[in-house]
Structure 1
């Protein structure tokens, strides 16, 4: 009888219960038992072979490393990112409302792909907010990817293809007449804000930070240097623009020169560094107060409830692209650093398609008339078709 071959990796022993226990010495020098017992030697041996393969490939992860509470890790992850106030607020809100109620009490290594799938399905059913849940999924995936990079877990359990992709509906636009009507409905104090949003086009948080010194009357334009978004708590968070490209000089349509002069004379704070937009009581622009005025003006003009003030920016870019602006032109005016963001405004709506078709029609008619003036012994196929 051949002698029994000595095991080179790990140990297996039979327990009094009849089941088998497997153990091995980890790369960290710690004796590591399997998390469960096995019904046969073969099953125990297969488990040891998997551990040996991971050690040889350098894929071995300390099985105790993932015993870190997800909530503690996620909150520390947000803090370490040094995010902008608005992004920090968004991430903490997504964690509080959508992620921590399910995963907050679990350790990192307890979050499995099946649990992630069930969580996403439940959130979609409960909220119907596909865009918000896509954001929450992306955040969860980012946190767990860092945990993977930190070697706390072996592999990111967020593996749902396309789950983090947002498919936003195309935003509505206003006509020039509707923009004018909105400016009139909001009143002279906010008229310039409407026009800068539509024809600048500047973001609301950029307008909130604009100062008297930013206005250039000679060149009919305005500088965007900073941004002051308003958090849900009502606190303003002065800081940089959304990207480096956000710092820019916006050349405004010439007709706005009169509006700029009048606003500076009547409504802007009088100090050289005074705010351009302040409320009736001289206080800084507030989203909540302006929001009530906006909703009344929108209803008066007859625009749909889903038309946001931010959609004036979309309106302005649509008008500029229809006027011949290139992709680069759009990026500069929008203060965007990526073509992907600028392409949002490069869509072609029905009216633009009619304009394009009209141009083709005029060109074809002109060419046909030109050809008809040249005598030809044999009529062309186009002429025969037209005369048929």
Structure 2
């Protein structure tokens, strides 16, 4: 339906609206929509209401930078295996003749673009725009994974022992001894620390996320169950049910964490354990700066990333001979193959299994409250 001051204006508006609906696939037509037009509709209408803002931003970036420029001008009904090969070539080979030149990207990036496009075309099938997903007839890019650079347990212990700020000392211990994700550590709340079967445990229920492209809570799907903290910061549940897990703490770590909570003096209304001096949440940039200082302090290069601590933790657990079930539970993976294939780095130390736990592998020194600086603030 369209309105106008005159019948002619109303008819023109109706015609324009019809053409727009046909262009984006909302209305049947003799031709299928261009891929670029379908992707716009797919992002804004179909996946936006159900995705986390960070995931949506990743999808949008992939669509705009990789898929549209490569094959966006092809109609959905005309997509063939050759178009998927063209997209892979566009991504992995780059182009020196462009202004500015387009740098080649990794096979992992090509694989990510292929998976995003596959999802979009699956939804096109569900919407009745095409009968089958053309990417099912094409071969997915062969992804060559590079092993992440990680600290050995001994190096991790050196980093922890050399840290003189009590908050970061705890952060590094949680990262290496429990394998907690960065967002889970930054978003740790007092209510998540519970006594279960006479053991102090962390019941992972939240992770801290900063959504720079979100204007307010209304832009976040209600099904996500996000809790606004301040500014662009939100507490959100883990992505999967496996992410909601119980992690028992080593006794010395539990004692140190309890001592920190009682003596820190930093209060906030969001129940967060770790905050800045003014009570506002930490963020990735603040932790990265502290992380690089910690690496430099023990003479290690600063090209390790905080997430690598999770890999070290998984590797240490494998060296200890922990069962797949236990490691899967602690790491929060729904499939042990992820723990084994991505996070566990097998080395010569696996030949002699340790028996005294990750804490012993890290060779940690007892925390000295007189050495740890409670007054230090994140820089």
Aligned to 2:219: none
Select the residue among 267, 270, 279 that pairs with 2:267.
Answer: 270
- Say if 1:203 and 1:310, in contact at 8 Å, map to a contact too: yes
Aligned to 1:332: 329
Select the residue among 221, 226, 229 that pairs with 2:201.
Answer: 221
Distance 1:327 1:104 in 2: 43
Q: Cα distance 1:250–1:106, how it changes in 2: closer, same or farther (>3 A)?
A: same
| Residues 112-191 of structure 1: pairs in structure 2 closer than 5 A | 112-126=80-94, 127-158=104-135, 159-163=137-141, 166-183=143-160, 184-185=162-163, 187-191=165-169
Select the residue among 292, 295, 304 that pairs with 2:292.
Answer: 295
Deviates more, 1:245-254 or 1:102-111: 102-111
> In the TM superposition, what whole-angstrom CA distance separates every residue of 1:117-161 from its partner, at most 9, and x where no partner exists?
122112101223221221011111221233244443354333442
Aligned to 1:72: 37
Distance 2:119 2:182 in 1: 28
- Say if 2:204 and 2:245, in contact at 8 Å, map to a contact too: yes
SS at match of 1:216: strand
Distance 2:300 2:203 in 1: 30
- Say if 2:328 and 2:335, in contact at 8 Å, map to a contact too: yes
- 1:254 positional shift: 1.9
| Residues 225-240 of structure 1: pairs in structure 2 closer than 5 A | 225-231=205-211, 235-240=232-237
Relative to the length of structure 2, the TM-score reads: 0.69
- 1:242 positional shift: 1.9
> In the TM superposition, what whole-angstrom CA distance separates every residue of 1:297-341 from its partner, at most 9, and x where no partner exists?
223334444421111111112111211210000111011112222
Distance 1:136 1:219 in 2: 44
Q: Cα distance 1:301–1:95, how it changes in 2: closer, same or farther (>3 A)?
A: farther
Distance 1:189 1:80 in 2: 42
Aligned to 2:346: 348
Aligned length: 293
Distance 2:46 2:28 in 1: 25
Distance 2:209 2:144 in 1: 25
Distance 1:132 1:205 in 2: 23
Distance 1:66 1:335 in 2: 46
| Residues 42-81 of structure 1: pairs in structure 2 closer than 5 A | 64=29, 66-78=31-43, 79-81=45-47
Distance 1:111 1:331 in 2: 40
Aligned to 2:258: 261
> In the TM superposition, what whole-angstrom CA distance separates every residue of 1:22-58 from its partner, at most 9, and x where no partner exists?
xxxxxxxxxxxxxxxxxxxxxxxxxxxxxxxxxxxxx
Q: Greater relative contact order: 1 or 2 (C-alpha under 8 angstroms, separation 6 or more)?
A: 2
Gaps of 5+ in 1: 1-61, 357-388
Relative to the length of structure 1, the TM-score reads: 0.67
- Say if 2:81 and 2:139, in contact at 8 Å, map to a contact too: no
Q: Cα distance 1:215–1:154, how it changes in 2: closer, same or farther (>3 A)?
A: closer
SS at match of 1:142: helix
Q: Are 2:188 and 1:210 aligned?
A: yes
> In the TM superposition, what whole-angstrom CA distance separates every residue of 1:327-363 from its partner, at most 9, and x where no partner exists?
000111011112222223455312213x27xxxxxxx
> In the TM superposition, what whole-angstrom CA distance separates every residue of 1:271-294 from its partner, at most 9, and x where no partner exists?
685211112332101112222222
Gaps of 5+ in 2: 1-26, 95-103, 214-230, 354-379
- Say if 1:210 and 1:275, in contact at 8 Å, map to a contact too: yes
SS at match of 2:246: strand
Distance 2:166 2:118 in 1: 47
Q: Cα distance 1:186–1:75, how it changes in 2: closer, same or farther (>3 A)?
A: farther
Distance 2:183 2:117 in 1: 27
Distance 1:304 1:69 in 2: 48
